[in-house]
């Protein structure tokens, strides 16, 4: 632990207490600690005050009627353990994409500690950002440049909207939640707000959270009758590895014709990338038709990858096709 960053540690008694503590400049919440502790230990992240949220843990998954769409949606507790959400019967039956994204994340040990909010707020895996010694990295030290731009690029974004940083966000859960139009519930002393998961991240893979913000829950709206979903993760190691690219797909079919489709791709941008153009182009197509691929390609037209990440454009398009078809044939 770097000497100049010794920190205080307080266990919050309840949400109000946590919010008060989090108003301290630089204070950070800690949940499972599976990401934050690593970052603090290596000096990448610093804080004067750690606010432990353990006492705030509520029921992992609550099923809630959510008008106006009709059927019940769910609310995931911010402190819910990844393993508990993945094991929840309602989640498995109604939102298989969430359970699959979690089960393909990290390892059983990490999932037993890691939480929903911590997972969404984890930081990029960019190896330069996480290096044991400072390297040129604007995120770590503003103005120092970006080693990834001319170094190892396979983890970089293919949609690069930020001029300084080409990092991707590593959360699998976020990709699944983005496809489901989930919303993050955030509280601060100034009040409550809801942020769609698709707007929860900036282009540089940081969250939009501000000092004093606390994620309290994630609300997942109900899905239409007949909804099917699946999560697909492409990686070289068969387990315990972040995605090279991934895709969450949710689809409603009429026979084998696509009535509606929602697709989000991971590993290609600073945030889960919804294939919005593709989603409308897919409506009315047969799930198995070759036109599915061209519909999906429309969403990749704007990709501008670095040379070392070019292959991920093709990989992501193929993953989207496969995920969509896997979702369609699920159940």
Ligand X SMILES: Cc1cc2nc3c(=O)[nH]c(=O)nc-3n(C[C@H](O)[C@H](O)[C@H](O)COP(=O)(O)OP(=O)(O)OC[C@H]3O[C@@H](n4cnc5c(N)ncnc54)[C@H](O)[C@@H]3O)c2cc1C
User: In terms of Cα–Cα distance, which of 122, 236, 210, 115 is closest to 170?
Assistant: 122
Q: Which of 130, 202, 259, 330 binds other proteins (CB under 8 A)?
A: 130
Task: Find out whether 308 and 154 touch, Cβ atoms under 8 Å.
Answer: yes
Residues in the chain: 331
- 2 contact, one of ligand SF4, other proteins, ligand X, none, CB 5-8 Å limit per kind: other proteins
Binds ligand X by CB under 6 A, chosen from 12, 19, 21, 34: 34
* DSSP 8-class letter at 293: H
Question: Is the dihedral angle over the CA atoms 294, 299, 301, 303 positive or is it negative?
Answer: negative
138 scored as a contact of ligand SF4 (CB under 6 A): yes
Size of the site for other proteins (CB under 8 A): 39
Which range in 118-126, 130-138, 193-201, 281-289 contacts ligand X by CB under 6 A? 118-126
Q: Does 236 bind other proteins (CB under 8 A)?
A: yes
Which residue matches tokens 């170094």? 151
Strand order in the sheet with 257-266: 228-234, 245-254, 257-266, 273-274
Which of 14, 25, 68, 133 binds other proteins (CB under 8 A)? It is 133
The one among 95, 129, 273, 300 contacting ligand SF4 by CB under 6 A: 129
Residue 103 to residue 82: CA distance in whole angstroms: 8
| Count of H-run helices and E-run strands, the chain | 11, 12
**Residue 300 touching other proteins (CB under 8 A):** no
Is 324 a binding residue for ligand SF4 by CB under 6 A? The answer is: no
Contacts of 291 (CB under 8 A, 6+ apart): 285
Residues 175-214, interacting with ligand X (CB under 6 A): 209, 214
The closest alpha carbon to 88, from 111, 65, 71, belongs to 111
Taking contact as CB under 6 A, which single stretch among the options 6-14, 33-41, 159-167, 290-298 is the one that binds ligand X? Answer: 33-41
Binding site for ligand SF4 (CB under 6 A): 124, 126, 128-129, 137-139, 146-148, 164-167
Residue ranges binding ligand X (CB under 6 A): 28-36, 53, 78, 82, 105-106, 110, 113-115, 117-119, 121-122, 170-173, 209, 214-215, 242
């Amino acid at each position: 632990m770097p000497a100049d960053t010794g920190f205080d540690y307080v266990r919050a008694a309840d949400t109000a207490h946590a919010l008060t503590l989090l108003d301290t400049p630089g204070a950070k919440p800690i949940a499972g600690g599976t990401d934050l502790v690593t970052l603090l230990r290596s000096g990448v992240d610093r804080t004067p005050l750690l606010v432990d949220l353990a006492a705030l843990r509520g029921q992992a998954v609550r099923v809630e009627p959510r008008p106006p769409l009709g059927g019940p949606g769910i609310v995931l507790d911010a402190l819910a353990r990844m393993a508990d959400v993945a094991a929840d019967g309602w989640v498995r039956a109604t939102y298989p994409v969430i359970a699959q994204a979690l089960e393909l994340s990290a390892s059983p040990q990490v999932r037993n500690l890691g939480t929903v909010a911590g997972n969404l707020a984890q930081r990029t895996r960019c190896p330069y950002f996480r290096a044991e010694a400072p390297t040129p990295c604007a995120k770590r030290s503003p103005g120092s440049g970006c080693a990834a731009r001319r170094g190892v690029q396979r983890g970089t974004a293919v949609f690069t909207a930020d001029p300084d940083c080409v990092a991707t966000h590593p959360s699998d859960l976020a990709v699944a939640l983005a496809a489901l139009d989930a919303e993050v519930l955030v509280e601060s002393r100034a009040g409550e707000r809801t942020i769609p998961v698709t707007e929860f991240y900036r282009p540089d893979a940081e969250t939009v959270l501000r000092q004093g913000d606390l994620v309290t829950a994630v609300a997942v709206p109900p899905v239409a009758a007949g909804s099917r979903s699946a999560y697909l993760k492409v990686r070289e190691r068969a387990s315990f590895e972040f995605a090279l690219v991934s895709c969450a797909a949710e689809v409603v079919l009429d026979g084998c014709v696509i009535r509606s489709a929602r697709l989000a791709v991971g590993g290609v941008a600073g945030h889960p990338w919804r294939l919005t153009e593709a989603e409308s182009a897919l409506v009315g197509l047969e799930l198995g038709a070759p036109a599915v691929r061209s519909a999906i390609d429309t969403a990749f037209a704007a990709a501008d990858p670095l040379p070392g990440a070019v292959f991920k454009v093709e990989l992501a398009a193929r993953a989207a096709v496969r995920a969509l078809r896997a979702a369609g044939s699920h159940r």
